[in-house]
Structures are given as C-alpha cells and as structure tokens.
C-alpha cells in the first residue's frame, strides 16, 4: 500500500475500536473483493511491474480523513500525540511510471482498471436508469484486451462481459418485462464503459501503462514490438485509440418493485 500524505500521520491515525493501524489496513484489504474502489497489488506483482519496460505499476492508496473528534489544533500537544482525530481510508489507487509515483486513480478510475485487467469479480455497481438509482451486484466478469490494426492504425479493443444480479432500485420500479430488462442492461453497460474510459483517459494522461496494453501488443506482434513499437511505446500509448465493448447480463432480480401505491405505476 502507498500512503497519500505523511506516513507517520497515517500510522498514528486512530479508530473507535483502538485497533492498530497495520491490522486495520489488513482488515480493509481483506474486504476488497466487495469494495472495488481501488486496485490492490501484491508486492511481487508490484515489483515485477516496476522492473518491466514500458509497463506501469499500481498499488492501493491509503489516506486519513477527519473523524468526529476535535481538530488537532484544538487539542493539547500531549493529547494530539497520543491520539490523532483521523480515521483511515483506502479508496484510491497509486499509479507509478518506472520507479516514480506519477498520480492517483479515483474510485471510478480504479473500477475501470479492475475491469480492464479482469480483476473485478465481485462488488456493487451503481448506475442510473430512468431517473432512478439501481445497484448491480457483480458475481463474475471476464476481460479481453486485443490489439488490432485498422487502416494502418494500432487500436486496442477491450471486451468486457459482466454477470450479476440487480440488487436494489431507489425509488422502486413497478413493472419489469424483458424489453425493460434489456434497457437496464444497456444502461448498466454504459456505466461500466464510462468507468473503463475514465481509467484509460487517466492512464494516458499520466502516460503510465498500468492497463497492460504494451504487454498485449508485445504478445500479438512480437516482431514489430522488438523492431519499433517497444522503443516508441511511450508516445504511442498516450495517443492510442481504444474501443470498448461491454456486455452486461442481469441474471436475477432483487428489491426492485414498488407496489405500495399502484396509481404511481411507471
């Protein structure tokens, strides 16, 4: 994990349960499969990415936010040193290029990174539909990242398949038929596409290939990569055209109907 801010402040943050920060962070990471706001990395994968030419490394980012206690300025020095009025939060992803931290992915961009790398297998996706807020519980997904050549241009194709249940809608939906379900899946696919595009745009802005595009190109076109693409990848990646295709499937339904007021059918 990478601390955003002073490491000493992060490690001295306090929570209501008086749990040690290191144990608290371990517990937070254990919940990551259902909290997909950030992209974690093992130490081995992180070090391997740092040492891979034309690749970018990433890791979960930890910071602290002001809790319900008084500001530090209002506390005595002794009390401030003994207990800091801050609580830990892991919700961003640290992005590296070579051995330098170059920026951060916010939660939306972090989700996009997980989709692209095929690592989003669980979690909740919230998306709008006809003025309502729906939640989609992911229980499986797959990703294919394929480099293509179109009209002499290198294009990256990202194909995502997501499977899950519609968990809840607020306010509820009175009627639901097959056509409306397809419309929901289309809206869900658009929301996932936006997350993926957000990650692509931010990675290109930072010029850090944490998305693994270079590796996909190397595997598909090894001769061209060794001849010219590898040496030019930094310039190519930042301007690379990306196509996204998402197929989101709603397998089951949850708390989505409203029958309290039949006159308000919609």
Chain segment 3-14, per-residue pLDDT in tens:
676 656 555 555
Sign (positive or negative) of CA dihedral 127, 30, 159, 102: positive
Report percent pLDDT > 90 for the chain. 43
Chain segment 54-76, per-residue pLDDT in tens:
888 888 877 766 554 444 444 44
Q: Are 240 and 204 a contacting pair, CB within 8 Å? A: yes
Decide if pLDDT at 92 tops 70: yes
Chain segment 221-252, per-residue pLDDT in tens:
999 999 999 999 999 999 999 999 999 998 87
Per-residue tokens: 68: 């319900």
What gap in Å lies between CA 108 and CA 131, rounded to an integer? 20
> What is the total residue count of the chain?
266
pLDDT of residue 31: 56
pLDDT of residue 87: 65
Chain segment 116-144, per-residue pLDDT in tens:
999 998 888 999 988 888 889 998 999 99
Phi and psi at 12, nearest 5°, equal: -105, 5
Decide if pLDDT at 109 tops 80: yes
pLDDT of residue 170: 61
Chain segment 244-256, per-residue pLDDT in tens:
999 999 887 765 5
Decide if pLDDT at 262 tops 50: no
Q: Domains in the chain, start-ordered, CATH in brackets?
A: 1-105 (no CATH), 107-266 (3.30.300.210)
What gap in Å lies between CA 173 and CA 259, rounded to an integer? 9
């Amino acid at each position: 994990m990478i601390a955003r801010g002073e490491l000493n402040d992060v490690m001295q943050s306090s929570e209501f349960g008086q749990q040690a920060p290191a144990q608290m962070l371990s517990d937070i990471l254990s919940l990551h499969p259902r909290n997909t706001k950030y992209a974690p990395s093992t130490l081995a994968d992180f070090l391997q990415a740092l040492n891979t030419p034309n690749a970018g490394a990433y890791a979960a980012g930890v910071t602290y936010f002001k809790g319900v206690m008084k500001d530090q300025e209002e506390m005595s020095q002794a009390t401030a040193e003994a207990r800091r009025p801050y609580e830990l939060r892991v919700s961003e992803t640290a992005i590296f290029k070579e051995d330098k931290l170059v920026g951060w992915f916010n939660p939306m961009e972090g989700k996009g990174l997980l989709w692209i790398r095929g690592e989003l297998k669980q979690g909740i996706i919230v998306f709008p539909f006809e003025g309502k807020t729906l939640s989609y519980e992911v229980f499986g997904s797959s990703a294919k990242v394929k480099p293509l050549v179109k009209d002499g241009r290198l294009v990256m194709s990202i194909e995502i398949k997501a499977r899950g249940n519609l968990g809840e809608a607020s306010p509820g939906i009175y009627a639901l038929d097959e056509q409306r379900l397809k419309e929901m899946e289309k809206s869900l696919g658009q929301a996932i596409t936006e997350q993926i595009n957000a990650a692509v745009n931010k990675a290109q802005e930072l010029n850090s290939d944490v998305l693994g595009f270079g590796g996909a190109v190397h595997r598909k076109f090894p001769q061209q990569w060794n001849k010219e693409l590898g040496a030019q990848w930094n310039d190519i990646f930042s301007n690379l055209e990306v196509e996204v295709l998402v197929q989101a499937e709603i397998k089951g339904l949850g708390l989505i109907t409203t029958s309290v007021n039949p006159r308000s059918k919609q």
